[in-house]
């Protein structure tokens, strides 16, 4: 090899990502299709079991009719408080504003939908519901969403043939924010439901105002410094509008009141409902009992199923009780336990296999094992060499930092230093002389390629998406709305923080990486400072 050839960078062979072949995918689809056909045949041969299975799945999915739904014991106090507020707004025509605080899947929206469905049966034409989500709507799209939902629901109440002439619904969302809310107030104030009531020989005309119920999911996203105008106008409607308005906000932020500006907080009723959580094992067992107990005689197997379930729940040594206790001591999450029970019920072919499955809980073991394979340890084993090198470099920087934070520049500088240290110990060029021709040639040993910073950015984004890194703004609580907005939007005094300077924190530390990475790995020595 000549000197000019030695100067060329060695060719890098990229390892292809292993993907499932079409044959494997087709084979898996055929197995699932065959299992589905077998289940349908078993249901046809035993219609009683099919009815029981459908009923159990409805209870697990929460799709039962409203009258047949059961509220868990630990949620009943919160449900009664929500019921009282909604009835005061819809029946007594009062205005209220409430914020529900709780973790995700803590039945905030579920309780609101349950209460509104109950009142929909008796007071269908006395209220309308407008739903907004902070993950979907911005301030402007929220205004358009309010106008669209108002138009649709008011036309349902008045009938498709009746026209509302007071305000043009097509232009309600045009203009400034103040003008839009003036149009909304005018529309709500002028929209009444008039009906004639016959009482003997006397005709009395009664006019009922329509209550507007706003349900805000992720209301904290509207509480930034530039998004307070929407909340201010809505809370101002609660205070001054002649039309009854009820606002329910759902959030996961415990300090949501600190996000609100003073002018918004002065118009908010300061009523915050914290969603209760399961406090003891008895509440968890009682919740599972409510989920799986069938209370209607839809099948001849109902009584036998309830007896089997009660026997398993009462026995502290049963497999079902063991899984409930394990969930209570670890996740304490009823949705997680419910998701593990769904395949147990859905894949049962007959009543005997269902009882056997609930006793053995083999599907619950498989589900938990499958969930654990998706944790950080499982994802770490799927990383490429470059991704693993960047991850270890970031962990080294985080361990040296006082607050455990790092950014892309610091991690890349550590990666560059470690690669150069390894390559310095590898002889790169060894000159040899050909005896016949007398020409000097060079043999080059393989060294580790040092990737450029622009190439590593894509790897960095992959590690963030895999949750190995968490942005520093997403950890902990913010002191106020301004701090929360700056932290989550990377803005401070009108400037924008660039990509490579954003602060992150590790979700897996260097000592944990040393226990997981095999000693045969070329980067194992990096896992110790």
Instruction: Specify the pLDDT at position 209.
Output: 79
Least confident of 136-140, 183-187, 244-248: 183-187
* pLDDT tens string 415-474: 999 999 988 887 766 566 666 666 666 556 667 889 999 999 999 999 999 989 988 765
> What burial letters (b/e) apply to 429-458, b meaning 16+ CB within 10 Å?
eeeeeeeeeeeeeeeeeebbeebeeeebee
Sign, CA torsion 179/181/184/188: negative
* For range 260-280, the mean pLDDT: 90
Tokens of 321: 């009780």
pLDDT category at 19 given cuts 50, 70, 90 is very low
What percentage of the chain carries pLDDT values higher than 90?
A: 41
Q: Which of 49, 54, 53, 61 is nearest to 338 (CA)?
A: 61
* pLDDT tens string 460-515: 999 999 989 988 765 444 455 555 555 555 544 445 678 788 889 999 999 999 99
Taken in order of first residue, the domains within the chain and their CATH numbers are 71-195+205-274 (3.40.50.300), 378-527 (1.10.10)
Strand-pair partners of 129: 213
More confident residue, 40 or 112: 112
More confident residue, 154 or 3: 154
Distances (CA, A) of 374 to 153, 330, 466: 43, 17, 10
* pLDDT tens string 51-87: 999 999 999 998 999 889 989 999 999 999 999 999 9
Residue 111 has pLDDT above 90, yes or no: yes
Residue 196 has pLDDT above 50, yes or no: no
Distances (CA, A) of 362 to 244, 318, 322, 340, 343: 53, 12, 12, 10, 11
pTM value surpassing 0.95: no
* pLDDT tens string 381-406: 889 999 999 999 999 999 999 888 99
Tokens of 36: 């589905």
Q: Which of 235, 246, 243 is nearest to 213 (CA)?
A: 246
């Amino acid at each position: 090899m000549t000197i000019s050839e030695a100067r060329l960078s060695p060719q890098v062979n990229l390892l292809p990502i292993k993907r499932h072949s079409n044959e494997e995918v087709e084979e898996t689809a055929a197995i699932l299709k065959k299992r589905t056909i077998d289940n349908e045949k078993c249901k046809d041969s035993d219609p009683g079991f099919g009815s029981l299975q459908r009923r159990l799945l409805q209870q697990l999915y929460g799709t039962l009719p409203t009258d047949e739904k059961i509220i868990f014991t630990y949620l009943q106090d919160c449900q009664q408080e929500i019921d009282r507020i909604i009835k005061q707004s819809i029946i007594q025509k009062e205005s209220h504003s409430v914020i529900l605080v709780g973790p995700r899947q803590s039945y905030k929206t579920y309780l609101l939908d349950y209460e509104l469905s109950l009142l929909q049966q008796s007071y269908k034409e006395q209220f309308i519901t407008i739903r907004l989500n902070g993950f979907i709507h911005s301030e402007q799209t929220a205004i358009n969403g309010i106008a669209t939902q108002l138009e649709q629901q008011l036309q349902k109440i008045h009938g498709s043939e009746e026209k509302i002439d007071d305000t043009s619904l097509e232009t309600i969302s045009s203009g400034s924010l103040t003008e839009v809310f003036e149009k909304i107030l005018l529309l709500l104030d002028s929209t009444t439901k008039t009906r004639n009531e016959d009482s003997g020989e006397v005709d009395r005309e009664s006019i009922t105002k329509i209550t507007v119920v706003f349900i805000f999911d992720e209301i904290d996203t509207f509480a930034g410094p530039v998004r307070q105008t929407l909340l201010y106008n809505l809370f101002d409607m609660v205070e001054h509008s002649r039309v009854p308005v009820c606002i329910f906000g759902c959030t996961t932020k415990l300090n949501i009141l600190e996000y609100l500006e003073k002018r918004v907080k002065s118009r908010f009723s300061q009523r915050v409902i914290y969603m209760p959580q399961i406090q003891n094992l008895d509440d968890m067992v009682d919740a599972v009992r409510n989920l799986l107990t069938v209370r209607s005689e839809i099948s001849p197997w109902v009584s036998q199923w309830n007896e089997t379930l009660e026997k398993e729940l009462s026995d502290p040594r049963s497999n079902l009780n063991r899984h409930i206790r394990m969930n209570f001591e670890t996740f304490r999450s009823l949705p997680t336990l419910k998701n593990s029970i769904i395949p147990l019920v859905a894949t049962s072919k007959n009543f005997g296999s269902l009882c056997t499955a609930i006793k053995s809980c083999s599907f619950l073991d498989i589900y938990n094992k499958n969930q654990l394979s998706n944790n950080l340890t499982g994802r770490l084993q799927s990383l490429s060499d470059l991704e693993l090198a960047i991850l270890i470099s970031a962990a080294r920087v985080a361990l040296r930092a006082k607050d455990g934070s790092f950014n892309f520049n610091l991690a890349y500088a550590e990666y560059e230093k470690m690669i150069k240290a390894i390559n310095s110990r590898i002889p790169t060029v060894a000159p040899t002389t050909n005896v016949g021709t007398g020409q000097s040639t060079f043999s080059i040993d393989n060294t580790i390629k040092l990737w450029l910073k622009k190439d590593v950015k894509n790897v960095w984004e992959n590690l963030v998406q895999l949750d190995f890194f968490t942005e520093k703004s997403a950890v902990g609580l913010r002191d106020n709305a301004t701090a929360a907005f700056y932290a989550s939007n990377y803005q401070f005094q009108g400037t924008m923080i660039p990509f490579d300077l954003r602060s992150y924190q590790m979700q897996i530390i260097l000592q944990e990486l040393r226990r997981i990475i095999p000693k045969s790995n070329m980067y194992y020595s990096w896992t110790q400072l």
